[in-house]
Structure 1
Amino acid sequence: MRNAGKAWRRWWGVGASSAGQVVDLPIAAMLGILHIGVVLQLCLCMASLIHDPHMVWQIWVMTAAAIACSSVIAVWMFTHRSYRLPWGLGAVHLAITVMALVVQGIYMPRRSQLGDWDVWAPAYADLTVATLPAWISGAALAIGVGAGVAAVYVAVVLPGNADLLSSVTMNVVGYMMFVVAAVILLRVARHMAEQVERSHSEAVRLVGELRIDRYLFHMHNASGLLARLSRDDIPDSMMPALRMQAAREASRLRVAMTSRPESGSQRWSLGRVIANATSGFGHLPLEVNDLLGRHVMLPIHQAMAVQMALITVLYNVQFHARATEVTIHAEDHGDWWEVSVADDGVGFDPSAVHYGFGLRHQVVEPLRSEGLAVTVTSAPGEGTVVMMRSCPDGTSHAGWN
Structure 2
Amino acid sequence: MRIRNGLRRVAELPTTRAGVERAFSYFTVGVRLGTVAQMVPAVRLGAGRAPDETAYLACWGAAALAAVAVSAATFVRRRPLGTLASVLDFGLACALLVLGPLVLAPWDRFGTWTAFQPGYALSVIITAGGVRGFGVWAGSLLAVSLCYVLYLGGDVEGDMVPTAVGNVLTYVVYALVARMFFGYTRRIARDADASRARAAELARREEERRAQVMMHNGVAVMRLLTEQGDAVSRARLVDQAEVELRRMRSYLRGGGRDGAGPDAPGGPDGPDGPDGRDGAPEGGRRAEGEGRRIALVPMVRRVCERFADLNVIASVDLGTGLSVTAAQAEALERALGSLLLNVRVHARAQQVVVHLDEEAGGGWTLTVHDDGVGFDPSSVTAGVGLREVVVGELRRRGLDVGIASAAGEGTTATITACPGPEGRPVRPTVRAAFAEAP
Counterpart residue number, 1:342: 366
Query: Where in structure 2 are the equivalents of 1:380-391 lying within 5 Å?
Result: 384-387=413-416
1:30 equivalent among 27, 42, 61: 27
TM-score, length-scaled by structure 1: 0.73
Partner of 1:254: 252
Shift of 1:79: 3.5
State the secondary structure of the residue aligned to 1:375: strand
Return 5+ residue gaps in structure 1 as ranges: 260-264, 296-302
User: 1:262 aligns to what?
Assistant: none
The question of whether the paired residues in 1 share the 8 Å contact of 2:218 and 2:241 is answered with: no
**Alpha-carbon deviation of 1:172?**
0.8
Aligned to 1:310: 332
Asked whether the 8 Å contact 1:129–1:146 carries over to 2, the reply is yes
Match of 2:401 among 371, 375, 387: 375
* Contact kept? 2:400, 2:429, Cα under 8 Å: no
Cα shift readout 1:8-35 (whole Å, capped 9, x = no counterpart): 5446546x6x932223344333332111
Tell me if structure 2 keeps the 8 A contact 1:325–1:343: yes
Equivalent position of 2:162 in the other structure: 166
Answer yes or no: is the 8 Å Cα contact 1:308–1:362 preserved in 2: no
2:35–2:119 Cα contact (<8 Å) kept: no
Could you tell me the percent identity over the aligned residues? 15
Task: Report the counterpart of residue 219 of structure 1 in structure 2.
Answer: 215
Matched, 1:357 2:402: no
Measure how far apart 1:376 and its partner are.
1.5
AA at the equivalent of 2:303: L
Q: Classify the secondary structure of the residue corresponding to 1:376.
A: strand
Give 1:177 shift: 0.6
1:116 shift after superposition: 1.9
TM-score, normalising length from structure 2? Answer: 0.67
Query: CA offset at residue 94 of structure 1?
Result: 1.3
For the residue of structure 2 that corresponds to 1:386, the secondary structure is: strand
* Secondary structure of the corresponding residue to residue 165 of structure 1: helix
What does 1:71-150 align with in structure 2 at a 5 Å threshold?
Answer: 71-82=68-79, 84-135=80-131, 137-150=132-145
Preserved contact between residue 42 and residue 114 of structure 2 (Cα < 8 Å) = yes
Q: Corresponding residue for 2:302?
A: 283
- For residue 186 of structure 2, the aligned residue among 171, 186, 190 is 190
Deviation at 1:57, TM superposition (A): 1.4
SS of 1:35's equivalent in the other structure is helix
Q: Which residue of 2 aligns with 1:153?
A: 148
Gaps of 5+ in 2: 258-282, 305-315, 345-350, 433-438
Distance in 2 between residues matched to 1:206 and 1:74, nearest whole Å: 41
Q: Go from structure 1 to structure 2 and tell me whether the alpha carbon gap of 1:202 and 1:228 turns closer, same or farther (over 3 Å shift).
A: same
Preserved CA contact (<8 Å) 2:83 2:136: no
Q: Which moved more, 1:216-225 or 1:352-361?
A: 352-361
Aligned residues: 372
Cα RMSD for the two superposed structures: 4.7
Distance 1:106 1:348, change over 3 A: farther
Map residues 388-399 of structure 1 onto 2, 5 A cutoff: none
Whether the 8 Å contact between 2:331 and 2:397 is mirrored in structure 1 is no
CA distance change for structure 1 residues 283 and 310 in 2, over 3 Å: closer, same or farther?
A: closer
For residues 254-275 of structure 1, give each alpha carbon's deviation from its aligned partner in whole angstroms, at most 9, with x where no partner exists. 347xx9xxxxx99966953987
SS of residue in 1 equivalent to 2:154 = coil
Distance 1:272 1:399, change over 3 A: closer
1:317–1:323 CA contact under 8 A, matched in 2 = no
